[in-house]
Amino acid sequence: MNFTDSETQPPEDVPLSQMEFSGPHELAPECNSFKWKVKIIDANGEIEQQTLTTKDIWKLQNRKVIVHFDERNGQPDEDSGGLLGSWLGQLSHDVNLLPIDYSDWRLYPLHRKERAWELIQTKFWFDRPEARKDYVLSVLGSRCKDVKRNLWKIYKRNDRSETMLNRPTVVPDDQWRNFVTVRFTEKWKKMRERNIKNQSKNTIPHLCGRKSFARKRREIEEQTGKTPCRAEFFITSRMKPDGSFVCEEAKNRADELTLLMSQNPSAGGSNNITASLDDEYSKVFGPERSGRVRCVGRGPTPSKLPKCSPTPILDATNSEAVELRSQVSGLQSQVQNLAGIIQQLVGASTTQTTGSTTGSTPNLAALLANLANQPNFTTILSSLANPPNSQAMEEGHENRNVGNSGT
């Protein structure tokens, strides 16, 4: 597919600071009145909690919304993430900042993405901006795609000429012309047919609505006290409030997942692992394809997942290691006590040898008898000869070797 003008033209000369961003573009829908509980940081580093709408974000001056990310999956998982997503949806309608005549977001001109990122950072605060940049721009790209799809749905007519004439007044003529031209090509039509066919295979829709998987997962975690695995997330996100499922296929899959989790004590998020390549979900739905991980959300890819789920054997091994370290520490203390007694014997033996020449003969037998009467003397000797759990240590080492060879 040929590049459009917006993908090859040089950067604008107008600085971002001189552009008007006091409100959403007129092409954007009316700001939602939903209020989000977020934390605000000002220029002095002072933080306070407030309740804001997307409309309030446009008015922020010298203050930013702190966006909280889940470090396990690198996704926003609080109200701040929902507010960010809603505001990006409004920003994506600004055809002056983000023209619609492009073929692929991955090929979108970098200078436009940078200008958008610069604007986003005037409204939102990120703990590690460079690490969060790809995720945020990916969300923005999806919102821009939604804008183009909605425009096509509303303004498309029977043929190219009629559609050209049906241009939205707020969209520049050159953008609309390029946009319509691309969408009436045979290549685009074939791609659209392929996408429709693929979408028809999605027969088990979730009930999360506009809520991201990351926020839904955090909601489940707050209710249950543990991170849900993919199997649990699938069941929860496909179950209605009355306990029924969105469809019969969802119920059948949920039953399969429930059976597998009951057979595996390590399943059910007990290890706070969201997904792995061999978890219960993959056994029911098949292996992951490249690019994304099902039931996890935007960001994580199969290459970033652990190959296998942690098992209770590993947890038991960790507990055993702690116990063995404690026993070793006790043995060290006992050895130190025994070493002190042996030093007394050596000193007594030397004294006896010297005394034999001077006529002084200490009672060495009495010293040995005193040694045998020392507290835990028998236990110390037995422990040194046969360290406790020595067999367990060897077996634990062998188990770890077997586990390593399996990965």
Q: How many CA atoms lie within 13 A of 303 on its CB side?
A: 3
Task: Check residue 3 and give left, alpha or beta (phi > 0: left; psi -120 to 50: alpha).
Answer: beta
SS3 38: strand
CA pair distance 381, 247, nearest whole angstrom: 70
Domain boundaries, the chain: 5-200, 213-304, 312-406
**With contact defined as beta carbons under 8 Å apart, do 213 and 82 qualify?**
no
pTM, rounded to two decimals: 0.68
CA pair distance 281, 295, nearest whole angstrom: 9
Residues comprising the chain, all counted:
407
Cβ-based neighbours of 137, under 8 Å, separated by 6 or more: 113, 116, 117
Q: Which among 88, 106, 100 has a CA at the least distance from the CA of 150?
A: 100
CA pair distance 299, 295, nearest whole angstrom: 12
Give the pLDDT score at 59: 92
CA pair distance 135, 124, nearest whole angstrom: 14
Say if strands 124-125 and 63-66 run parallel, antiparallel, or are unpaired.
parallel
Weakly modelled stretches of the chain, pLDDT under 50: 1-11, 13, 269, 310-319, 322, 357-362, 388-407
SS3 40: strand
Kindly report the number of other CB atoms within 10 A of residue 299's CB atom: 20
Give the pLDDT score at 312: 42
Task: Check residue 368 and give left, alpha or beta (phi > 0: left; psi -120 to 50: alpha).
Answer: alpha
Give the pLDDT score at 364: 53
**With contact defined as beta carbons under 8 Å apart, do 178 and 151 qualify?**
no
DSSP class per residue in 265-290: TT-SSTT-----TTSHHHHHH-PPPT
Backbone angles phi, psi at 129, to 5 degrees: -55, -45
Strand partners, 124: 65
SS3 66: strand
